[in-house]
Amino acid sequence: MSNFAFSSLSDVLNMDGHGVYVWAVFSLFLITISTSFYIFNLLIKKYQKRVK
Amino acid sequence: MNRLYPWLLYISLFIYLFAIIWGLLFTPKDFVQGHSYRIIYFHVPASFVAQSLYAAMAISSAVFLIWRVKLAAYLARSIAPIGAMVTFIALVSGSIWGIPTWGTWWEWDARITSTLILFIMYLGLISLHNSFNNFDKADKLLAYLAIIGFIQIPIIKKSVDWWSSLHQPASITISDKPSIDPSMLYPLFMSMIGFAGLVACLVILSSKVQIYIREKNKSWVKDHV
């Protein structure tokens, strides 16, 4: 593994002006994947109740 | 499957988080693209999995049509919404990456347009299946169309070679040495493996939903629940 690529937390967030794009994609990923898991678990519970 | 699921989920989550932290914070800045290249750790796994899911859907459709395995039809139907979601991530992450790299969020370029068609195909297959009350007919039609639509996958793959494109050629190919530096490549491989594992978990959950919908009156499902 290489060295830490940034010198401060604000550097990590800013990424030389590209942070807005990188963190927007990160947020999109996080929201979409976690929502999908949540929805499918909810659907499973719903249909399990119907089967019972 | 119930025993396998938590293992697959936690191992995939660990691999993916490790890869993301490595890729976002510990890989060097790209000489040409600067830090925006870090979107690769989201965009490439999503694009790779979106196409792989379609291939998996076409294979399970073929298994259903040839050997009449009902579970294969359930699997094909289960893959469609996950495929649509992953293709959506690939399209949106690519568009966001396009702003700092190409100066535009959208271009009617061969790779982007063919990926958009893949997204529409996933949505079309879901809508088509939902429009039938008879599951047998819906499964057969979905299977035939999924197999016919498979032609789209090599077109997406080769689009950057066949047509002049804003999209860069593939950085990783089977025949050639990767054009990407190893310090960036290893976390990329890890992110692809971790993301594929997470998506496999979603397919397992989606398949469970299909089984509960279709087999709700069967005794083995009641016993299982």
Residue B219 has pLDDT above 90, yes or no: no
> Coil, helix or strand for B34?
strand
CB atoms < 10 A from the CB of B43, how many?
22
What's the pLDDT score for residue B12? 98
Interface probe, candidates A38, A40, A46, A50, chain B, greatest B C-beta count within 10 A: A40
Nearest in space to B142 (alpha carbons), one of B60, B51, B49, B66: B60
For residue B92, give the chain A residue with the closest CA: A25
Average pLDDT in the B4-31 region? 95
Dump pLDDT digits (tens) for B173-189: 666 677 788 889 999 99
Does A29 lie at the interface with B, CB-CB under 8 angstroms? yes
For residues B78 and B70, what is the distance between their CA atoms, to the nearest angstrom? 12
Range list of H helices, B104-181: 110-130, 135-149, 152-162
Dump pLDDT digits (tens) for A1-52: 668 889 999 999 999 999 999 999 999 999 999 999 999 999 999 998 888 7
What's the pLDDT score for residue B148? 96
Q: What is the ipTM of this complex?
A: 0.93
What's the pLDDT score for residue B32? 87
Question: Is the CB of A44 less than 8 angstroms away from the CB of B25?
Answer: no
B99: chain A residues, CB-CB within 8 Å: 21
What is the DSSP secondary-structure string of B187-224? Answer: HHHHHHHHHHHHHHHHHHHHHHHHHHHHSTTSHHHHHH
What's the pLDDT score for residue B181? 85
Residue B167 has pLDDT above 80, yes or no: no
Residue B28 has pLDDT above 70, yes or no: yes
What's the pLDDT score for residue B172? 66
Question: Is the CB of B26 less than 8 angstroms away from the CB of A52?
Answer: no
Kindly state the tokens that stand for A45. 């519970």
Does A37 lie at the interface with B, CB-CB under 8 angstroms? yes
Tokens 């190919």 locate to: B173
What's the pLDDT score for residue B180? 82
What's the pLDDT score for residue B173? 67
Residue B166 has pLDDT above 80, yes or no: no
Long-range contacts of B215-219 (CB under 8 A, 24+ apart): B216/A47, B216/A50, B216/A51
**Residue from the list B20, B25, B212 with its beta carbon closest to the beta carbon of A4:** B25
Backbone conformation region of residue B218, classed left if phi is above 0, alpha if psi is from -120 to 50, else beta: beta
Residue B3 has pLDDT above 90, yes or no: no
**Residue from the list A4, A29, A51 with its beta carbon closest to the beta carbon of B216:** A51
Position B13 confidence tier, pLDDT thresholds 50, 70, 90: very high
A18: chain B residues, CB-CB within 8 Å: 34-36, 38, 100
Question: Is the CB of B27 less than 8 angstroms away from the CB of A2?
Answer: yes
